[in-house]
């Protein structure tokens, strides 16, 4: 179905160009005065490195792997997020876990490797939707950048710590976890020089 | 000063003839026009100098260059066959016209005035040009106007298929 | 001063002329480079943006983005001066000069202040003394020559888009020159002379020409936009949309071409101020002091420079056929009618 465009009949005043141009110039000058009178911080432009946009609730930024209060990881390595991911950027390896003094002790399963390739991630939030344990969240951090491709490959400990600074919590490393973790080196997670 | 402008004029003209590239030749012609404008200035006739630049280099040469660019023929085609007679006729015509011009200039009354006169020649200005044209040479002016008009109408008639 | 004048070949007049040349050219260059800043900041303000403000002087002072000028200058100087392999070398080097020189010397006849007498010697505040019988023909001639910078740049680049841009620009400038000349002619007729100082004197005596010839002003004003290749008639180079005549130019050569555009708009606004707004004349003060007249000329000049920026960010670009329509079928008849009407008005008295 086409749209019927109404043809605007121009009056002789409009045809002369002079009056419409004067009108337009008045409009732009009004904008000029308004913009001059506004202090820089109150103008429309968000001057990015100095000012940051307040993000809406539910913004899908960098991921965080959630933990219980006692520090046990919520993820049970069910592979739901890996399946749901349209970009195929999540790769998980599961391991057995039977330390009963942690909340997770009842679960008996957790990821030994949880990798997200941030270069492939499209921040769609499907992993968040798919997670039965509410263990992976997409939060409001959006400055995900690095100098090489390898450091964009976030491992389990990077993902746990992504919002440690923002939440005012201490960064967790593998050694702080219970000594009962299997002696198998779980840090195949690339590097620790992830985001801060 | 005279030598400078004369040299500019002559060098421009010669370069124009020697130049194979049409556009560069056109630019050399502009240089010639500037030399001529300078010569007009030396003759204390700034109006003619200004008009020379406005009309010739500003409008006519721009249009000529414009057309050359449109036709996209930057390189001159070599002559199909050399005809010595053309060269001879050209040279003799130049000689005849040159002698004629020399004769006219040397015989003119103004030149004799310059030799005698101690007074400087009054500078030309637009007001005087107007007076000269519309008081003394009105008929010629009108005839030139008519000629140009008819040339314009003719050009439009030739180029426009459906009138 | 006394000792200098005794040097052979140097008289007070010559020093004065040199001084004027120095002051005027440095002022024109200064305003031109300043206006690259005004253009960007002003356009930002007109469009509710902020504009360049990241360049800091010594890493500290923002100064409303003015250091951007310095940064740009440094960048232009130190950029690699690349000459594409397919250009016509000599003309490629010549073109920026051809564009730049007319932009500078067009200003020469415009008086920027009242004449004054010091120790019995009259001094004129314009580079070429009045009464040179070149008068207003000079800027017109220079404006006519300004096309060559564009044409030569376009052709020597050996690039089809550059040639197309150059052809658009040259056709446009040639077409608008006619209405421009006719509009100015009406003023020459009214004044009975064509020296800018005569025109200003006449305006001081009997009112500015904006009131006496509003139609002529409209034509002249529009043609000035076309002559200086400014929006809404910027067919020589249309920033993002149409590729222009200088797209093979880089570094300082490009800077020269870009500055010459600003030189043109300075000359254009000076012409508008002189012809239609009384030049250095101070309203209601026929005997204003010299410095005040210079100040008023500057104010008028800067206002019209600002109008150039203002119009640029208000109007969209014309289509090319609309441009030609406006030039040949609207402005030319209007300017002719203006001329004939004024001639009729003048002939009634006789």
Q: What is the pLDDT of residues A111-120, one digit of tens each?
A: 889 999 999 9
Whether residue A68 is predicted with pLDDT greater than 50 in this model: the reply is: yes
Give the model's pLDDT for residue C173: 85
Whether residue A94 is predicted with pLDDT greater than 80 in this model: the reply is: yes
The average pLDDT across B116-120 equals: 52
> Predicted confidence band at C1 (pLDDT cuts at 50, 70, 90)?
very low
Q: Does C47 touch chain A (CB under 8 A)?
A: yes
DSSP assignment string, A90-151? EEEEEEE---TTSGGGGT-EEEEEEEEETTT-----HHHHH-TT--EEE-S------SSSGG
Query: What ipTM was assigned to the predicted interfaces of this complex?
Result: 0.81
Whether residue A184 is predicted with pLDDT greater than 50 in this model: the reply is: no
Cα–Cα distance between A114 and A163 in angstroms, integer?
A: 16
Q: What is the pLDDT of residues C141-187, one digit of tens each?
A: 888 888 888 888 888 888 888 888 888 888 888 888 889 989 998 99
The average pLDDT across C186-213 equals: 86
Find the CB nearest B58 among C144, C188, C194: C144
Q: Does C26 touch chain A (CB under 8 A)?
A: no
Q: Which has the higher per-residue pLDDT, A17 or B162? A: A17
Cα–Cα distance between C228 and C230 in angstroms, integer?
A: 6
Residues of B in contact with C140 (CB under 8 A): 50, 54
Q: What is the pLDDT of residues B44-57, one digit of tens each?
A: 788 888 888 888 88
Whether residue C338 is predicted with pLDDT greater than 70 in this model: the reply is: yes
Cα–Cα distance between B153 and C8 in angstroms, integer?
A: 60
Q: Does C123 touch chain B (CB under 8 A)?
A: no
The torsion region of residue A16 among left (phi > 0), alpha (psi -120 to 50) and beta comes to alpha
Give the model's pLDDT for residue C57: 83
Give the model's pLDDT for residue C4: 45
Whether residue A122 is predicted with pLDDT greater than 90 in this model: the reply is: yes
Q: Does A32 touch chain C (CB under 8 A)?
A: yes
Q: Does C314 touch chain A (CB under 8 A)?
A: yes
Q: Does C244 touch chain B (CB under 8 A)?
A: no
Closest chain C residue to A48 measured between Cα atoms? C54
Contact C39, C265 (CB under 8 A): no
Residues in chain B whose beta carbon is closer than 8 A to a beta carbon of chain C?
23-24, 27, 30, 46-47, 49-51, 53-54, 57-59, 62-63, 65-66, 69-70, 123-127
Cα–Cα distance between A91 and A71 in angstroms, integer?
A: 22
Judged by average pLDDT, the poorest of A51-55, B148-152, C64-68, C114-118 is C114-118
Q: Does pTM surpass 0.90?
A: no
Contact C213, C253 (CB under 8 A): no
State the nearest Cα–Cα gap between B3 and chain C, in angstroms. Answer: 21
Cα–Cα distance between C266 and C296 in angstroms, integer?
A: 15
Q: Which of B43-52, C2-11, C95-104, C130-139 has the highest mean pLDDT?
A: C95-104
> Predicted confidence band at B120 (pLDDT cuts at 50, 70, 90)?
low
Judge: C50–A40 Cβ closer than 8 Å, yes or no: yes
Closest CA to C15 of C1, C30, C27: C1
The average pLDDT across A166-190 equals: 57
Residues of C in contact with A25 (CB under 8 A): 310-311, 314
Residues of B in contact with C236 (CB under 8 A): none
Query: For residue B75, what are the β-bridge partners?
Result: B21
Find the CB nearest A28 among C53, C218, C314: C314
User: Residue ranges of the domains in chain B?
Assistant: 1-76
Whether residue A191 is predicted with pLDDT greater than 50 in this model: the reply is: no
Interface with chain C: mutation pick from A31, A44, A49, highest number of C CBs within 10 Å? A31
SS3 content of chain C, % helix, strand, coil (to 5): 65, 5, 30
DSSP structure class, residue A63: E
Residues 181-240 of chain C whose Cβ lies under 8 A from any Cβ of chain A: 218
SS3 A43: coil
Q: Which of A18-32, A96-110, C2-16, C107-121 has the highest mean pLDDT?
A: A18-32
The average pLDDT across A180-189 equals: 43
Percentage of residues in chain B having pLDDT higher than 70: 83
Cα–Cα distance between C140 and C179 in angstroms, integer?
A: 12
Chains that touch C (3 or more CB pairs under 8 A): A, B
> Predicted confidence band at B78 (pLDDT cuts at 50, 70, 90)?
low
Percentage of residues in chain A having pLDDT higher than 90: 32
Whether residue C109 is predicted with pLDDT greater than 80 in this model: the reply is: yes
Give the model's pLDDT for residue B145: 94
Indicate the CATH number for domain B1-76: 1.20.120.1200
Interface with chain A: mutation pick from C41, C45, C56, C303, highest number of A CBs within 10 Å? C45
Closest chain C residue to B34 measured between Cα atoms? C145
Closest chain B residue to C162 measured between Cα atoms? B69
Q: Does C141 touch chain B (CB under 8 A)?
A: yes
Q: Does A22 touch chain C (CB under 8 A)?
A: no
Interface with chain B: mutation pick from C132, C138, C144, C149, highest number of B CBs within 10 Å? C144
Give the model's pLDDT for residue A106: 62
**What rounded mean pLDDT belongs to chain C?**
85
Show the CA angle centred on residue C182, arms to residues C201 and A12, nearest 5°.
105
Whether residue A187 is predicted with pLDDT greater than 70 in this model: the reply is: no
Q: Does A28 touch chain C (CB under 8 A)?
A: yes
Q: Which has the higher per-residue pLDDT, C134 or B144? A: B144
Give the model's pLDDT for residue C307: 93
The average pLDDT across A89-95 equals: 91
The average pLDDT across C59-68 equals: 81
Judged by average pLDDT, the poorest of A100-104, B37-41, B44-48, C150-154 is A100-104
Q: Which has the higher per-residue pLDDT, C55 or A176? A: C55
Residues of C in contact with A47 (CB under 8 A): 50, 53
Judge: B23–C170 Cβ closer than 8 Å, yes or no: no
SS3 A181: coil
How many C-beta atoms surround the C-beta of residue C12 within 10 A? 15
Q: Which has the higher per-residue pLDDT, C305 or C112? A: C305
The average pLDDT across C179-204 equals: 87
Give the model's pLDDT for residue A190: 42
> Predicted confidence band at A193 (pLDDT cuts at 50, 70, 90)?
very low
Closest CA to C260 of C240, C243, C246, C274: C246
Give the model's pLDDT for residue A182: 42
Whether residue B74 is predicted with pLDDT greater than 70 in this model: the reply is: no
A86: phi then psi, degrees, rounded to nearest 5? -75, -25
Show the CA angle centred on residue A99, arms to residues A97 and A102, nearest 5°.
110
Query: For residue A117, what are the β-bridge partners?
Result: A153
Give the model's pLDDT for residue B114: 60
Judged by average pLDDT, the poorest of A29-38, A171-180, B6-15, C114-123 is A171-180
State the nearest Cα–Cα gap between B134 and chain C, in angstroms. Answer: 15
Contact C246, C238 (CB under 8 A): no
């Amino acid at each position: 179905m086409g749209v019927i465009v109404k043809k605007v009949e121009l009056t002789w005043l409009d045809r002369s160009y002079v009056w419409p141009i004067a009108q337009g110039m008045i409009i732009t000058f009004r904008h000029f005065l308004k913009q001059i009178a506004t202090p820089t911080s109150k103008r429309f432009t968000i001057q990015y490195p100095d000012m940051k946009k307040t993000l809406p609730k539910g913004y899908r930024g960098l991921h965080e792997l959630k933990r219980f209060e006692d520090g046990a990881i919520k993820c049970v390595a069910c592979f739901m997020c890996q399946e749901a991911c349209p970009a195929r950027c999540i790769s998980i390896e599961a391991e057995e876990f039977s330390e009963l003094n942690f909340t997770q002790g009842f679960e008996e399963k957790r990821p030994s490797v949880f990798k997200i390739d941030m270069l492939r991630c499209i921040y769609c939030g499907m992993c968040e939707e798919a997670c039965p344990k509410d263990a992976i969240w997409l939060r409001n951090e959006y400055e995900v950048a690095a100098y090489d491709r390898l450091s964009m490959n976030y491992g389990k400990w990077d993902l746990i710590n992504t919002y440690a600074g923002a939440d005012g919590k201490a960064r967790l490393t593998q050694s702080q976890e219970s000594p009962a973790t299997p002696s198998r080196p779980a840090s195949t997670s690339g590097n620790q020089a992830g985001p801060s | 000063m005279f030598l400078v402008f004369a040299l500019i004029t002559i060098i421009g003209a010669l370069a124009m003839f020697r130049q194979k590239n049409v556009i560069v030749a056109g630019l050399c012609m502009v240089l010639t026009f500037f030399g001529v404008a300078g010569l007009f200035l030396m003759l204390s006739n700034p109006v003619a100098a200004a008009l020379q630049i406005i009309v010739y280099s500003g409008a006519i040469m721009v249009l000529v260059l414009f057309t050359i660019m449109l036709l996209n023929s930057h390189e001159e085609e070599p002559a199909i066959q050399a005809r010595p007679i053309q060269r001879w006729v050209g040279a003799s015509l130049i000689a005849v016209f040159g002698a004629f011009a020399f004769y006219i200039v040397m015989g003119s009354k103004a030149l004799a005035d310059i030799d005698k006169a101690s007074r400087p020649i009054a500078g030309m200005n637009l007001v005087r040009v107007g007076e000269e044209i519309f008081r003394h040479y009105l008929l010629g002016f009108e005839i030139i106007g008519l000629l140009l008009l008819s040339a314009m109408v003719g050009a439009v008639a030739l180029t426009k298929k459906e009138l | 001063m006394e000792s200098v004048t005794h040097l052979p070949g140097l008289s007070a007049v010559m020093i004065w002329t040199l001084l004027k040349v120095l002051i005027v050219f440095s002022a024109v260059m200064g305003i031109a480079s300043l206006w690259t800043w005004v253009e960007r900041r002003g356009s930002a303000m007109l469009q509710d943006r902020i504009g360049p403000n990241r360049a800091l002087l010594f890493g500290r002072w923002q100064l409303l983005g003015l250091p951007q000028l310095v940064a740009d200058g440094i960048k232009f100087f130190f950029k690699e001066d690349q000459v594409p392999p397919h250009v016509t070398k000599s003309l490629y080097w010549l073109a920026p000069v051809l564009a730049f020189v007319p932009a500078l010397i067009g200003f020469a006849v415009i008086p920027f202040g009242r004449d004054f007498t010091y120790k019995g010697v009259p001094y004129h505040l314009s580079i070429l003394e009045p009464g040179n019988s070149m008068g207003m023909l000079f800027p017109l001639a220079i404006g006519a020559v300004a096309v060559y910078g564009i044409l030569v740049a376009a052709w020597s680049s050996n690039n089809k888009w550059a040639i197309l841009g150059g052809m658009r620009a040259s056709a446009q400038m040639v077409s608008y020159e006619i209405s421009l000349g006719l509009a100015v002619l009406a003023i020459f007729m009214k004044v009975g002379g064509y020296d800018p100082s005569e025109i200003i004197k006449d305006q001081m005596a009997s009112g500015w020409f904006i009131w006496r010839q509003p139609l002529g002003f409209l034509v002249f004003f529009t043609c000035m936009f076309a002559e200086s290749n400014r929006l809404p008639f910027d067919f020589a180079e249309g920033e993002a949309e149409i590729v222009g005549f200088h797209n093979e130019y880089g570094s300082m050569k490009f800077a020269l071409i870009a500055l010459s555009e600003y030189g043109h708009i300075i000359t254009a606004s000076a012409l508008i101020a002189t012809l239609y707004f009384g030049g250095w004349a101070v309203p209601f003060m026929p005997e204003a002091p010299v410095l005040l007249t210079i100040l008023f000329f500057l104010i008028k000049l800067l206002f019209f420079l600002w109008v150039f920026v203002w119009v640029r960010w208000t109007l969209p670009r014309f289509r090319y056929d609309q441009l030609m329509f406006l030039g040949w079928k609207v402005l030319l008849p209007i300017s002719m009618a203006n001329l004939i009407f004024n001639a009729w008005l003048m002939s009634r008295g006789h």
